[in-house]
């Protein structure tokens, strides 16, 4: 049993001015006790370890992803994924949900990282033949029986979440992000099969019809939710209200390094929906989509928070909640991650300064703890 003393503590929702001490036993946070040895971390803020709810450990930022995924040997990709995971961990990201790999390599990657971030794996995302991210090997024809079999295969392989490409996407040549790849009944078949096995489903969805069908099919999360059209964005507020009513998490992939390529007018238009959606009650999770472009390395999540805040108009504390407690809940691990409270995993991040006053403080990492063990950063 050990104690960690800090100047301030953010518990996943609220900042507590200290000093405060977190007591750890067996990798879990336990009730406070005066009879433990204490390590003073100094003038830092202690937070739950960050949760990146949307990452791609297999992708090399800045590469030709379709070609790279087809041509690179699996051993090379696997080694790369472990490097990327450790880069994320050193930034304080203690849980990574990989929402699309090749050959189920995320499951292998976590087995080779005894002191790495917890990796939640989706395996190859379900996509239509020639559809978005077809190069990851998850092509399934738009047939309910085939889709049920695809979900069963992923569950047999040990995935934590089912990912379906309800619409096209930007990094796949010939794919149109605003166009649907599966209809309502087909997505519902995926959801019902996954839920019967106790697995959540999250849907990549840009176009309004794809977002609406995914929500009505009962998905647990929508990734992107940009309401893109052929030449811009057109939010469907009735669908937003359905998202809110169903409690569907919205994964906003805003994490990226500052100073990169400016956002396109189309992306700006798509993000303009976020503030109103938040006011209506949408649960917005900031995630990175790490790997898809050059300014999204696998430690970019904390660097993208100011941009996320601009679009969502959330307070600093609410932004922090979006990458701790709320992100953990969206990944199905909210019962043990994303909070500093007794019974939760002792995955912790210490940063210089107060991120509730200045979000850039989150990039000034002082210490990272995984299940109570300090990580070499």
Q: pLDDT tens digits, residue range 311-365?
A: 999 999 999 999 999 999 999 999 999 999 999 999 999 999 999 999 999 999 9
The pLDDT of residue 146:
98
- The CATH number assigned to the domain holding 199 equals 3.20.20.140
What's the number of CA atoms in the CB half-sphere (13 Å) around residue 13? 3
The pLDDT of residue 260:
79
Q: Dihedral (C-alpha) 25, 29, 33, 34: value to the nearest 10 degrees?
A: 80
What pLDDT band is residue 166 in, cutting at 50, 70 and 90? very high
The pLDDT of residue 275:
94
Instruction: Show the DSSP H helices in 60-121 as ranges.
Output: 65-71, 74-90, 105-111
Mean of per-residue pLDDT scores for the chain: 97
Q: Dihedral (C-alpha) 42, 46, 49, 52: value to the nearest 10 degrees?
A: -110
What pLDDT band is residue 294 in, cutting at 50, 70 and 90? very high
DSSP state letters, 304-371: GHHHHHHHH---HHHHHHHTTHHHHHHTT-TTTSSS-STTSB--EEEEES-TTT-GGGGGSEEEEEET
> 294, exposed or middle or buried, with CB in 10 Å at 0-12, 13-18, 19+?
middle
What pLDDT band is residue 143 in, cutting at 50, 70 and 90? very high
* Structural domains in the chain (count): 2
The pLDDT of residue 167:
98
Same-domain pairing of 28 and 162: no
**For residues 340 and 48, is the Cβ–Cβ distance under 8 A?**
yes
The pLDDT of residue 33:
87
Same-domain pairing of 360 and 267: no
The pLDDT of residue 262:
85
CA–CA separation, 91 and 117 (whole Å): 11
Please name which of 192, 252, 183 lies closest in space to residue 212, comparing C-alpha atoms: 183
**For residues 74 and 105, is the Cβ–Cβ distance under 8 A?**
yes
Instruction: Calculate mean pLDDT across residues 282-300.
Output: 97
Same-domain pairing of 168 and 207: yes
The pLDDT of residue 266:
86
Same-domain pairing of 138 and 261: yes
Same-domain pairing of 114 and 141: yes
Same-domain pairing of 260 and 299: yes
Same-domain pairing of 41 and 100: no
What pLDDT band is residue 102 in, cutting at 50, 70 and 90? very high
- Vertex 301, ends 209 and 42: CA angle to 5°? 150
Same-domain pairing of 137 and 230: yes
Instruction: Calculate mean pLDDT across residues 72-91.
Output: 98
Same-domain pairing of 111 and 161: yes
pLDDT value at 114 more than 90: no
> pLDDT tens digits for 182-207?
999 999 999 999 999 999 999 999 99
Same-domain pairing of 123 and 233: yes
- The CATH number assigned to the domain holding 348 equals 2.30.40.10
Domain span at residue 217 reads: 50-330
Question: Where is the domain boundary, 314, 330, 346?
Answer: 330
The pLDDT of residue 113:
87
Same-domain pairing of 257 and 133: yes
Please name which of 217, 93, 224, 94 lies closest in space to residue 171, comparing C-alpha atoms: 224
Same-domain pairing of 173 and 110: yes
> 13, exposed or middle or buried, with CB in 10 Å at 0-12, 13-18, 19+?
middle
Residue 84 backbone phi and psi in degrees, to 5: -65, -40
**Prediction pTM value:** 0.97
The pLDDT of residue 248:
98
């Amino acid at each position: 049993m050990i104690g960690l003393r800090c100047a301030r503590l953010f518990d996943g929702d609220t900042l507590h001015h200290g000093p405060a001490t977190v007591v750890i036993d067996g990798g879990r946070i336990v009730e406070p006790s005066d009879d433990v040895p204490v390590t003073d971390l100094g003038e830092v803020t202690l937070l739950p370890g960050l949760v990146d709810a949307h990452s791609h450990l297999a992708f090399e930022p800045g590469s030709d992803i379709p070609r790279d995924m087809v041509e690179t040997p699996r051993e090379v990709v696997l080694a790369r994924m472990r490097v990327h995971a450790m880069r994320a961990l050193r930034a304080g990201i203690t849980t990574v949900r990989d929402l699309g790999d090749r050959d189920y390599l995320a499951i292998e990657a976590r087995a080779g990282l005894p002191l790495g971030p917890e990796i939640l794996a989706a395996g190859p995302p379900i996509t239509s033949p020639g559809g978005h991210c077809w190069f990851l090997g998850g092509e399934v024809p738009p047939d309910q029986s085939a889709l049920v079999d695809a979900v069963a295969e992923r569950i047999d392989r040990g995935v934590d979440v089912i990912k379906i490409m309800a619409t096209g996407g930007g990094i796949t040549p010939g794919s149109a992000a605003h166009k649907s790849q599966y209809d309502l009944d087909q997505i519902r078949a995926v959801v019902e099969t996954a839920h019967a096995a106790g697995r959540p489903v999250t849907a990549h969805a840009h176009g309004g019809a794809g977002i609406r069908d995914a929500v009505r099919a009962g998905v647990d999360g929508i990734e992107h939710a940009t309401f893109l059209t052929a030449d811009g964005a057109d939010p469907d507020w009735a669908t937003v209200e359905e998202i809110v009513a169903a409690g569907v998490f919205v994964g906003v992939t805003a994490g990226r390094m500052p100073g990169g390529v400016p956002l396109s007018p189309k992306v700006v238009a798509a993000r303009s929906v976020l503030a109103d959606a938040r006011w209506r009650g949408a649960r917005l999770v900031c995630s990175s989509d790490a790997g898809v472009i050059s300014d999204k390395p696998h430690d970019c999540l904390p660097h993208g928070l100011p941009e996320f805040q601009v679009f969502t108009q959330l307070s600093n504390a609410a932004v922090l909640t979006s990458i701790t407690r709320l992100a953990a809940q969206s990944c199905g691990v909210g019962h043990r991650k994303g909070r500093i409270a007794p019974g939760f995993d002792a995955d912790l991040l210490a940063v210089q300064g107060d991120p509730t006053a200045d979000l850039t403080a989150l990039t000034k990492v002082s210490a990272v703890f995984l299940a109570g063990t300090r990580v070499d950063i």
